[in-house]
């Protein structure tokens, strides 16, 4: 019974930004739970993700897509459906970050981050929700951040986008929960990815971060896999509009 609650057999999942890091880890975890998995990639093919998903025995598809340039999201969903079937699980993971002092932060750095981290989440979720409602249900999982709750340093556009993602999650949940579409968030803590490379290379900042994490280590992308499987599965059918923090205890400190 417990295994069936968390099984994703027969489901199709789309993970944006699945070539590496958190997106790759979530894509693999969903495949391990039984889902066929599609990912978006921005440039080079995601050979490693392909191999990891294939090793689970599940089907895999990737779509070249620039989510920051008003991509045709319905065409993206149609491409996945043609290969794997309609999208049952959408994970809005793709995101970028730009760092600069507030008084010097450029307009382009503001708009570029919002385009990927917020606008694409809105458009893709809206398009996916239409199909999910018609088919009688689905799961949308957004990737938030600790900076959905805090202000951060030198990352105003990233912070704004991640606050907005949590609000958008609640707004979608309020309208879609009665239609058997679950919309929730995962808020990762400090995870070892390309987006946090600058922090980890800053000896002082890295030490300050580590001192606050009760678990005593930076998170790994694989730490997010279980949370994603839970929210994508029938075990979370009564979970709506929630932000699940996976942070090694940071927010409890």
pLDDT in tens, 119-147: 999 999 999 999 999 999 999 999 999 99
CA 5 vs CA 167, 198, 220: distances in Å: 28, 39, 25
pTM (predicted TM-score): 0.96
State how far the Cα of 209 lies from the Cα of 73, in Å rounded to an integer: 37
Confidence grade of residue 115 (pLDDT, cut at 50, 70, 90): very high
Q: Kindly tell me if the per-residue pLDDT of 3 is higher than 90.
A: no
Q: Kindly tell me if the per-residue pLDDT of 204 is higher than 60.
A: yes
- The full DSSP string for 51-110 is HHHHTTT--EEEEE--TTS---HHHHHHHHHHHH-S-SEEEE---------GGG--HHHH
- Domain architecture of the chain: domains with CATH: 2-252 (3.40.50.720)
User: What pLDDT does 195 receive?
Assistant: 80
State how far the Cα of 20 lies from the Cα of 159, in Å rounded to an integer: 22
Q: Do 144 and 185 contact (CB within 8 A), yes or no?
A: yes
Contact residues for 126 (Cβ-Cβ < 8 A; gap 6+): none
Confidence grade of residue 1 (pLDDT, cut at 50, 70, 90): low
Q: Do 38 and 83 contact (CB within 8 A), yes or no?
A: yes
User: What pLDDT does 44 receive?
Assistant: 76
State how far the Cα of 124 lies from the Cα of 91, in Å rounded to an integer: 10
pLDDT in tens, 39-90: 999 887 799 999 999 999 999 999 999 999 877 899 999 999 999 999 999 9
Active site residues: 158
């Amino acid at each position: 019974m417990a295994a069936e609650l968390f099984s994703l057999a027969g489901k199709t999942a789309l993970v944006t930004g699945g070539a590496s890091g958190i997106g790759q880890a979530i894509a693999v975890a969903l495949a391990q739970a039984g889902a066929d998995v599609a990912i978006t990639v921005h440039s080079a093919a995601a050979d490693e993700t392909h191999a990891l998903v294939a090793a689970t025995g599940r089907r895999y598809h990737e779509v070249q897509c620039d989510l920051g340039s008003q991509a045709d999201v319905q065409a993206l969903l149609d491409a996945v459906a043609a290969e794997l079937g309609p999208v049952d699980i959408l994970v809005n993971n793709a995101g970028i970050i730009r760092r600069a002092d507030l008084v010097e932060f450029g307009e382009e750095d503001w708009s570029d981050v919002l385009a990927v981290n917020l606008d694409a989440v809105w458009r893709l979720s809206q398009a996916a929700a239409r199909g999910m409602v018609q088919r009688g249900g689905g799961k949308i999982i957004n990737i938030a951040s600790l900076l959905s709750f805090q202000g951060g340093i030198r990352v105003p556009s990233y912070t704004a986008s991640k606050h907005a993602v949590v609000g958008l999650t609640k707004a979608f949940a309020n309208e879609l929960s009665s239609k058997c579409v679950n919309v929730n968030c995962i808020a990762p803590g400090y995870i070892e990815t390309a987006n946090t490379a600058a922090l980890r290379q800053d000896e002082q900042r890295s030490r300050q971060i580590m001192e606050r994490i009760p678990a005593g280590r930076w998170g790994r992308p694989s730490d997010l896999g279980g949370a994603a499987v839970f929210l994508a599965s029938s075990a979370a059918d009564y979970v709506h509009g929630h932000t699940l923090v996976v942070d090694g205890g940071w927010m409890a400190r």
